[in-house]
């Protein structure tokens, strides 16, 4: 194997650049040529591919976003689209790939392996919703962005004795909400993995009021619905006035934390190691601080499990 390609796909996440850097530098260290595929699978189909040198990935370890750009590509899901992609891989002499992204990206990675192009997946998403790894690249940075926002909102919530509802991303997963709620001392956390009925939220607010505490923070995972809906229910059911903040895409940007940079470096390099060993169709992850590999087939059929002990801890500490 002489030439490998690397692409980022799906929703970008801070630390993807550090992962690209690791793939490029680790590849070059081992005598490979590394090609950057721009705009994910769309760029692969279009042949938007350039050779990357050591300097191409200089000064990017800290940067949010992805220098390779990202896209969600419908065409690659078709036979015709994949054939066009294969033609481009042949044209550039690329023999194997590293795909950095979430589960949608891994479905594409699996197809490439089936078509004879060994591909390794690297989990990059702020959602932390991929099984087979304790953390995905970008989760820690997004979490810290949320915590920064919660801390600021708490200042004004306390001054005005208000209840704030903060909606965070995560798609169907509650990891961001749970970790942020725990780290931000939220009074209630609403996540898809554990049912929190509105009566329970009201009860907690009212208990706080009875103790003389008139402010509270409710963190809502987007997977359970919208913060405005929760606000409407609180008003209708218990006449509780709230302020709503939807953090949105701010959670996807910003300089990667040290944790994400190290994670991305380990996983990016780990992916190249696997390719050098002749492996294919695997996702590299980190479990119990060790770099591990799992079959992408298993990753696509398994479900990511939220830590139940954290859910219980958050309940016990937010009384
Ligand atoms: O998967 C990452 C993520 O940011 C989710 O948390 C969110 O639901 C989704 O992507 C938003 O996607 P888009 O940027 O396409 O609106």
Reported as a pLDDT band with limits 50, 70 and 90, residue 9 is very high
CA-nearest residue, atom 15 of ligand 1: 11
pLDDT tens digits, 77-132: 999 999 999 999 999 999 999 999 999 999 999 999 999 999 999 999 999 999 99
Tell me if the domain spanning 139-252 has CATH number 3.40.1710.10: no
pLDDT at 318 over 90: no
pLDDT tens digits, 228-241: 999 999 999 999 99
Q: How far is CA 248 from CA 111, 149, 169, 306, in A?
A: 32, 12, 7, 22
What's the CA angle centered on 257, arms 255 and 260, to 5 degrees? 110
Phi, psi of 296 (to 5 degrees): -60, -35
Q: Where does ligand 1 bind, in terms of residues with CB under 6 Å?
A: 11, 102, 125-127, 169-171, 222, 252
Q: Distance from the CA of 276 to the center of ligand 1, in angstroms? A: 33
According to CATH, where is 3.40.50.450 located in the chain?
A: 3-138+256-301
The CATH code that applies to domain 3-138+256-301 is: 3.40.50.450
Reported as a pLDDT band with limits 50, 70 and 90, residue 12 is very high
Reported as a pLDDT band with limits 50, 70 and 90, residue 197 is confident
Q: Distance from the CA of 11 to the center of ligand 1, in angstroms? A: 6
Atom of ligand 1 nearest to the CA of 126: 2
Percentage of the chain beyond pLDDT 70 is 100
List active site positions. Answer: 127
Atom of ligand 1 nearest to the CA of 169: 6
pLDDT at 196 over 90: no
What average pLDDT does the chain have?
97
Reported as a pLDDT band with limits 50, 70 and 90, residue 41 is very high
According to CATH, where is 3.40.50.460 located in the chain?
A: 139-252
pTM over 0.95: yes
pLDDT at 163 over 90: yes
pLDDT tens digits, 266-316: 999 999 999 999 999 999 999 999 999 999 999 999 999 999 999 999 999
CA-nearest residue, atom 11 of ligand 1: 11
Close Cβ partners of 225 (under 8 Å, ≥ 6 residues apart): none
169, 191, 221, 225, best to mutate for ligand 1 pocket (most atoms within 8 Å of CB): 169
Percentage of the chain beyond pLDDT 90 is 97
pLDDT at 319 over 90: no
């Amino acid at each position: 194997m002489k030439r490998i390609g690397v692409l980022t796909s799906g929703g970008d996440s801070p630390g993807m650049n550090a992962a690209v850097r690791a793939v490029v530098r680790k590849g070059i260290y081992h005598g490979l040529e590394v090609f950057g595929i721009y705009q994910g699978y769309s760029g692969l189909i279009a042949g938007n591919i350039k050779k990357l040198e050591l300097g191409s990935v200089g000064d990017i370890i800290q940067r949010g976003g992805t220098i390779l750009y990202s896209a969600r590509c419908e065409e690659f899901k078709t036979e015709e689209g994949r054939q066009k992609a294969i033609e481009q891989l042949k044209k550039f002499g690329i023999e194997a790939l590293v795909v950095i992204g979430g589960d949608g990206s891994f479905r594409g990675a699996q197809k490439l392996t089936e078509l004879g192009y060994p591909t390794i997946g690297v989990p990059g998403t702020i959602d932390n919703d991929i099984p087979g790894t304790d953390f995905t690249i970008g989760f820690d940075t997004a979490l810290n962005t949320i915590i920064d926002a919660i801390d600021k909102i708490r200042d004004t919530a306390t001054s005005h004795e208000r209840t704030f509802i903060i909606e965070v991303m995560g798609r169907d997963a509650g990891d961001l909400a749970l970790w942020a709620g725990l780290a931000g001392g939220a009074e209630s956390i609403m996540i898809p993995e554990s049912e929190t009925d509105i009566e329970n939220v009201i009860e907690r607010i009212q208990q706080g009021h009875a103790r003389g505490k008139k402010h509270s923070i409710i963190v809502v995972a987007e997977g359970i619905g919208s913060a405005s809906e929760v606000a409407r229910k609180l008003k209708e059911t218990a006449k509780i006035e709230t302020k709503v903040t939807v953090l949105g895409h701010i959670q996807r940007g910003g300089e990667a934390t040290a944790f994400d940079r190290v994670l991305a470096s380990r996983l990016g390099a780990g992916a190249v190691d696997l390719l050098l060993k002749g492996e294919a169709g695997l996702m590299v992850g980190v479990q119990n601080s060790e770099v591990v590999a799992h079959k992408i087939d298993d990753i696509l059929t398994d479900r990511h499990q939220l830590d139940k002990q954290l859910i219980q801890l958050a309940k016990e500490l937010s009384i």
